[in-house]
Structures are given as C-alpha cells and as structure tokens.
Amino acid sequence: MLTFVGLGLYGVKDISVRGLEAVRSADIVYLESYTSRLMGSSIKEMEDFFRKKVHPLSRDDVERGREYIEEARERNVVFLTAGDPMVATTHVDLRIEAMKKGIETRVIHGQSIIAAAPGLLGLQAYKFGKTGSIPYPEEGFRPTTPYKVMLDNLKTGLHTLFLLDIKEEGRYMNPAEAVELLLEMGKNLGDETFNDESLVCAISRAGSDEPGIWCGRAKEALRRDFGPPLHCIVVPGNLHFMEEEALEMWMEE
C-alpha cells in the first residue's frame, strides 16, 4: 500500500494520531519537502518522534524517479508531506499513477494553509477564489499568471491566497518579495488594480505557537521584515463587516 500522510503546518506533533500510527507501522517512510516544508522540525526530530528512518525526496525524485510507487506493490510505503498531501497537484498525480497500476492507496489528511489562512485572518473561507502561487522569476521566465488569478477573483469579490516559492537550496520567498513581484506583474500587464495602496495580508509561521499575522497597504509590506518562513499572503476581495473588523485587529497603527 502507498499511504499519503499530511504532517500539518509547523511541528512534528501536528501529525494526526492516524497519521502517526501509519508512519510507525510502515516498512519505509519517504518525505517530500520541495512543495512545502515543516519549518518547526528537522528530519532528525521526525525520526526520533516517529521511531522510523525518514528518507527525504528531491523534486527530481518525486517527479521523475517514482520508484517508491513500485515499491508499494510489496511493501507498506508512507509518503509524508507538510500540510495536507492532496493540496499539491503533484501528489494527486502520484496517487492516480499508483491506482492505475493496481496499487492500493490511502490518504490521511493534515492541517492545510488553505484552511488555516482564512481562520488566522478572520476571513470567511468560502469567499476565497482560486489559490495562486508566486514563483521567483528567472532568466526568460517572468510570469504574470498569479496577477491574472487575482484579477479573476477580484472581479467576483473573492479573496486570493498566494503560496510563495520555495527553492531546494533553502531560499524562501517572503511577503515583501511577493508584493514587489505582484506590483511588477501589474506594470508589465499595464494594470493598476493592485497598487501601492492595495490592502494585503501576510501570514508567517502558521501552525506555530506565535504565528505572524499582519495586514496593511502594499507599500508598507515592501519595507517590513516578516521574520522567518514559511509565509503566504492574501489579497482581500469584498469584505463583510465582520471580516473588516477582524482585519482591523492586524492593522498597524
């Protein structure tokens, strides 16, 4: 069997009891850590807590290798991910591939930023539109898709959650960088919907004992230090009066 287990948002103890039981009864445990990271725990701490060897997988291992799928024909394989395992389309693809090969699969869900972000900010979860991801630009690659996702959401008054890029070498995008990139995308598209005065929210270290929660204008985000990762940002759409009251709690004086 191939079992996908969500580790939750921040620390090793965020895993569910069912997830912990699955890990401890596994023949082999893999950890995917390129789509997200469990920032409050190291692999050594996971191994001590799980009482199992944890084998980290690179992006190439996950997307091209996939030997662990065949391994699940004869062994009880656990595939760990931060957050919830089925939020990332890569993991959905892995499960489909395994099922097509006749390999039994199971999913044990974990806490996800998709639910945590609205809850931390006080925004209504059902008023969020499509989630966007903001990547680091590279030579010949300066995408504007994230901005277009936001525009589509705003047209119907919906909020936009942006997940921020993670590089395997340990580089984590922060909210100031994300806001700067959104402003640049708007200029490249000739659109000023998102500008210096736009309202933006930032969440840092969700799931920790002291998560960072901030709301303000885009121009203020550009000069703010949001502390250690992981981060995400939210661009609010139309606000209910209760949402307005909630966001005021996180506004700087």
- Give a yes or no: residue 174 inside a domain: yes
Distances in Å between the Cα of 187 and the Cα atoms of 84, 190, 195 are: 35, 5, 9
Q: Look at residue 125 in the predicted model and tell me its pLDDT.
A: 95
Predicted local distance difference test score (pLDDT) of residue 37:
86
138 lies in some domain? yes
93 and 127 belong to one structural domain: no
Whether 131 and 185 map to the same domain: the answer is yes
Structural domain of residue 211, as residue ranges? 113-248
For residues 129 and 102, state if they share a domain: no
Write down which residue in 108, 127, 146 finishes a domain. 108
Could you tell me the two tokens for 248?
């005021």
CATH number, domain of 190, equals 3.30.950.10
Instruction: Give the three-class secondary structure for 81.
Output: strand
Q: Looking at residue 90, which CATH number applies to its domain? A: 3.40.1010.10
According to DSSP H, which parts of the chain are helical? 17-24, 43-50, 59-60, 67-71, 89-100, 113-121, 145-155, 175-189, 218-221, 241-248
Q: How, if at all, do strands 54-57 and 28-32 pair?
A: parallel
Q: What is the pLDDT of residue 65?
A: 67
Instruction: Give the chain's domain count.
Output: 2
Give residue 111's pLDDT.
94
* Residue 158 belongs to some domain of the structure: yes
pLDDT, residue 168, reads 74
How many Cα atoms sit within 13 Å of 209 on the Cβ side?
A: 1
What is the full per-residue pLDDT of the chain (253 aa) written as tens digits? 999 999 999 999 999 999 999 999 999 999 988 778 899 999 999 999 999 999 998 888 887 767 889 999 999 999 999 999 998 888 899 999 999 999 999 999 999 999 999 999 999 999 999 999 999 998 888 899 999 999 999 999 999 999 999 987 778 999 999 999 999 999 999 999 999 999 999 999 999 999 999 999 999 999 999 999 999 999 999 999 999 999 999 987 5
Residues 88 and 159 reside in one and the same domain: no
* Domain identity same for 88 and 61: yes
